Amino acid sequence: MQAFLKGTPSLGPKPQKSKPTAGPSGEKRQKPVPWVEKYRPKCVDDVAFQEEVVAVLKRSLEGADLPNLLFYGPPGTGKTSTILAAARELYGPELFRQRVLELNASDERGIQVIREKVKNFAQLTVAGTRTDGKMCPPFKIIILDEADSMTGAAQAALRRTMEKESKTTRFCLICNYVSRIIEPLTSRCSKFRFKPLSDKIQEERLLEICEKENLKCTQEGIAALVQVSEGDLRKAITFLQSAARLTAGKEITESIVTEIAGVVPCKMIDSLLQTCYNSTFEKMESSVKDLIDQGFAATQILNQLHDSVFEDERLNDKQKSAIAEKMAEVDKCLADGADEFLQMIALCSVIMQQSSQNN
Ligand SMILES: Nc1ncnc2c1ncn2[C@@H]1O[C@H](COP(=O)(O)OP(=O)(O)OP(=O)(O)O)[C@@H](O)[C@H]1O
Ligand SMILES: [Mg+2]
């Protein structure tokens, strides 16, 4: 142990060594931040698609009569970004640190913290001017991100604090599941629902990033990114960054995106269905084995089969409903840890059986 501790100081010079090499190399040293942070909206106007929220928020910001806020909606739709951008606009970069207290699920937010940290911060009074002489609202903002993970007791402790400190403090609660916020808190806040972003908006943002990062990406590639991320722009941007790393300057195509996202190529799903409809049990078994051997997750195959089967005009409603029932069963079994290959075979057998009844 002692020897180990003695040995550690030799690690000291290492970071120093790397410093001079990193310093002069780039005139404008770019911080290595993930793209989701790099392209986080800087002002409220940059927030795309959430028009109602932005409109109400902007009017409140102008009038300095901001209510307590509650933002809710699915992941990656701009909740955290919106309040951070609004706070930065209100206070400017300098005052921001003094006036805004951000607590998220990574911080201890039990009842003790609400009683001490939040209450103490809320009780401080503040002036109505900024250091640069501009006016700013005479209150502070406490952001409680991921508030749905706060205990009921901690939420209850907030109730009275929220009312008592309303002269000096505004609260902004952010969560994915609004039903997990206790009723007395929701009734003290203006609620804003964040919608999953539309395909068009996501496409625009992704194209913008491609342009800024000098990436080449085909139209189908962008469409695939949007499709796999299901309204979550953060997911789409993260996939785009991985794809950019993988291609290293070459064009990003649909196949690369599907590869990264672990999506089964449509052709393979189609051919599996084709086999179920027209071929023998042995062939079906071998195509399922093939898919599983390639490492595709059974839940992913199931989801895609679900979409394809329901769009398929060769099956009638009765057949589709029988297949859907089996799909639900297989889904449950997979969630319980059943064997992927056997479950897929079971599902495909039902598809086979149902489609043969048609003829
Ligand atoms: N409406 C939007 N306009 C512009 N960019 C967005 C929008 N929504 C999400 N983004 C992008 O996605 C990233 C993540 O957004 P943000 O952190 O605000 O999501 P969130 O709603 O807080 O999600 P979570 O519920 O998971 O915390 C941002 O950095 C930004 O690049
Ligand atoms: Mg967030």
Measured in Å, residue 317 CA sits from the centre of ligand 1 at 39
Atom of ligand 1 nearest to the CA of 37: 29
Of 233, 195, 197, the closest CA to residue 73 belongs to 195
pTM, full prediction: 0.76
| Atom 12 of ligand 1: nearest residue by CA position | 234
pLDDT 10s digit of each residue in the chain, 359 long? 444 444 434 443 434 433 344 444 444 456 678 999 999 999 888 898 888 888 888 887 777 678 899 999 999 999 999 999 988 888 888 888 888 988 887 777 777 887 788 888 887 777 777 667 677 778 889 999 989 888 888 898 888 888 888 888 899 999 999 999 999 999 999 999 999 999 999 999 999 999 999 989 999 999 999 988 888 999 999 999 999 988 888 899 988 998 888 888 888 999 999 999 999 999 999 999 999 999 999 999 999 999 999 999 999 999 999 999 999 999 999 999 999 999 999 999 999 999 998 55
| Ligand 1 close to Cβ of residue 196 (< 6 A) | no
For 83-146, give the DSSP string.
HHHHHHHHHHHHHHHHHEEEE-TTS--SHHHIIIIIHHHHH----SB-TTS-B--S-EEEEETT
Phi and psi at residue 159, to the nearest 5°: -55, -55
Q: How far apart are CA 47 and CA 173, in angstroms?
A: 18
Q: Which domains does the chain have, with CATH numbers?
A: 35-193 (3.40.50.300), 199-261 (1.10.8.60), 266-357 (1.20.272.10)
Measured in Å, residue 314 CA sits from the centre of ligand 1 at 41
Q: Which ligand has its closest atom nearest to the C-alpha of 83?
A: 1
